[in-house]
């Protein structure tokens, strides 16, 4: 794809664009209940979200002192996706200020992409249900890119650089926005500056993970990105 001269804002999805925890944990608990395992509370479950459905299932089982074999995990993963897609936006909401922030960046010539460890199909479906899918040049998930048959997902920096390329941008003109260790590490490994939101899903405060900037509301994103660009 031909590179566009416009700067590109690349955002994570779960815990960054939208508060998806209630629907994700609700899906997990449906499976946990069927398997006779204890439900995961929303409060504790928020720290389990963000690395994809397989990781969420493994963490849910681990919280009950159980492990899950690879074959069973694969079957549970596909079941999880089917259940989740049926309730994908029942309780999920965009974080406050997100659309207004995009409006300000768009007015200044910025373009947008999503780089998530969610599967691409559900990611598109969710962003469509939330009314914002059309705003992104690319929506890339953990199954979007494959190299020699291997799926490329965060924290592999190629997940980010390939998303940037698919959106028609370049790493030198991009800024990553995420909420977790995975997002920060991905951006750092790709040589892309990263802004971390502190309202997402992480087991430690994002300020401890070395992002370039930390924000607590999308109203702060413009100034954070401008300070990064002014700093070179």
- Residue 155 and residue 71 share a domain: no
Same domain, yes or no, for 112 and 61?
no
Q: Where are the beta strands (DSSP E) in 60-144?
A: 93-94, 111-115, 138-140
pTM over 0.75: yes
Cα separation, 191 vs 177, in Å, equals 14
Q: Which of 86, 105, 136 marks a domain boundary?
A: 86
Last residue of one domain, picked from the residues 34, 62, 86: 86
- Tell me, yes or no, whether 159 lies in a domain: yes
102-157 pLDDT per residue, tens: 999 999 999 999 999 999 999 999 999 999 999 999 999 999 999 999 999 999 99
Q: Which domain holds residue 215?
A: 8-19+92-230
What pLDDT score does 50 carry? 72
Q: Which of 4, 12, 143, 173 is catalytic?
A: 12
Ramachandran region, residue 226 (left: φ > 0; alpha: ψ -120 to 50; beta: rest): alpha
12 flagged as catalytic: yes
Query: pLDDT, tens digit, for every residue of 73-100?
Result: 999 999 999 999 999 999 999 999 999 9
- Residues 20 and 180: their CA atoms lie apart, in Å, by 14
Q: pLDDT of 13-35, one tens digit each?
A: 999 999 999 999 999 999 999 99
Shared domain check, 217 and 111: yes
Considering the domain boundaries, does residue 139 fall inside one? yes
CA atoms within 13 A on the CB side of 84: 28
Q: Could you give the maximum distance between any two Cα atoms of the chain, in Å?
A: 55
Which residues have a Cβ under 8 Å from the Cβ of 131 and sit 6 or more positions away? none
* Residue 2 resides in a domain: no
């Amino acid at each position: 794809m031909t590179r566009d001269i416009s700067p590109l804002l690349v955002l994570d999805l779960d815990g960054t664009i939208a508060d998806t925890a209630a629907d994700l944990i609700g899906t997990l608990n449906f499976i946990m209940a069927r398997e006779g395992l204890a439900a995961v509370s929303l409060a504790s479950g928020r720290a389990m979200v963000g690395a994809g459905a397989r990781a969420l299932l493994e963490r849910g089982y681990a919280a009950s002192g159980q492990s899950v074999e690879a074959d069973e995990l694969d079957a549970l993963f596909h079941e999880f996706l089917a259940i989740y897609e049926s309730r994908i936006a029942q309780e999920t909401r965009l974080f406050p200020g997100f659309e207004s922030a995009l409006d300000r960046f768009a007015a200044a010539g910025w373009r947008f992409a999503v780089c998530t460890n969610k599967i691409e199909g559900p990611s598109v479906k969710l962003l469509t249900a939330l009314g914002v899918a059309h705003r992104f040049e690319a929506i890339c998930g953990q199954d979007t890119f494959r190299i020699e048959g291997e799926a490329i997902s965060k924290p592999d920096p190629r997940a980010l650089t390939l998303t940037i390329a698919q959106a028609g941008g370049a790493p030198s003109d991009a800024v990553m926005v995420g909420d977790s260790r995975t997002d920060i590490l991905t951006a750092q490994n790709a040589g892309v500056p990263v802004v971390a939101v502190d309202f997402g899903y992480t087991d430690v405060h994002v300020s401890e993970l070395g992002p370039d900037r930390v924000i607590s509301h999308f109203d702060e994103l413009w100034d954070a990105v401008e300070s990064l660009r002014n700093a070179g």
